[in-house]
Chains A and B, each alone.
Chain A
Amino acid sequence: MKLKTLEAMMGSIDEFVSPKVCYEQYSTSVHISSRMLFTIDHTFGDLRDKCVADLGSGSGRLTIGSALMGAHYVLAIDCDWDAVRQMADNFEDFEDDITSRIDSICADVTDQEFWTPFHKRFDTCLLNPPFGTKRNKGIDMIFLKRALDLSTNSVYSLHKTSTREHILRKADEWSVEAEVLARLSFDLPKVYKFHKHSSVDIEVDFYRFQHKTSK
């Protein structure tokens, strides 16, 4: 699939209708998410025929994108029932052979015991975590750890550039290889009332984490 085709197809996924500040729901732009998926598949071969989990799936862009790129099974995980339902509606525009490989669940990524039976069941995990800026500092690291527990091969994630040193130190502690694939400028539009400016640019790193024991 060509990048332009993927980008056009993912463009039909709606943004959050009613974003909730407690979950830090910001959609990853089509431009960014399509390029992320393209890199994950073309450079690393981590989507086609793979078993994939999307942690904090939100509007479902990365989930549908992974299925479009040929993932054999994608599990979309989000703790917000409204978001999960909206995601299911978003998927209705796609062909059955794409959506038939997707499962969705409403569950809390931070609930450690619940996820234990899921450990190592997936090849690749994707996450666009809450950046942990709003009263829930450190939540991005809980998401990342969970993704590492669930996967056998690799994890792709986004984290604020300002936390890079901390992330790399944690990766070392958890015995995984970490690589910053790209530095992105995230344009967060004013979706919540408390935002003072119409949009804010924040610097974000796109990471690939690889389990040392695999490959």
Chain B
Amino acid sequence: MKLLMHNMLSSMGLQNVTVGFPLKIVANEVKDISVEFDKKFMKRIISKVDWNALRDTAAQFGVKLPTELPNGNISDELLKQIHGALMEIEIIEGKLVCPETGHEFPINNGIPNMLF
């Protein structure tokens, strides 16, 4: 599971959950992988990302992103950092925890099981 996917995951399917986002990650095994950087792709993706969730989650894995996403032109250096956070951190084993109910969703072999 990449943080790009995590940025879209919620526990909204659970009863009595109003936001259920972002899910807390408990990681038992994490892999750093290498993915080719694509500047145009990253620029497009960033506009759709929930920045606060990404910034906080990335910090958990040692990637420090700015508090606010700069308006207008984003430097190549920052784009590569965001690429690293979104695409190159792989959670292999662990779980996702609902921020409201504490319900846990397992992650095995890199795949979150989000069946409710």
A interface residues, Cβ below 8 angstroms from B = 49, 51, 72-73, 75, 79, 81, 84-85, 88, 96-97, 100-101, 103-108, 111, 113-114, 116-118, 120-121
Contact = CB atoms under 8 A, between A and B. Distances in A.
Contacts, number: 75
Contacts of B74: none
A111 B113 contact: no
Interface residues of B, number: 30
B87 interface: yes
20 contacts: A72-B41, A73-B4, A73-B41, A73-B45, A81-B113, A81-B115, A96-B33, A100-B33, A101-B87, A103-B4, A103-B5, A105-B1, A106-B114, A108-B13, A108-B114, A113-B12, A113-B13, A114-B13, A117-B8, A117-B9
B109 interface: yes
B40 A88 contact: no
A100 B34 contact: yes
B112 A106 contact: yes
Interface of A is mostly: mixed
A88 B109 CA distance: 8
Nearest to A77: B114
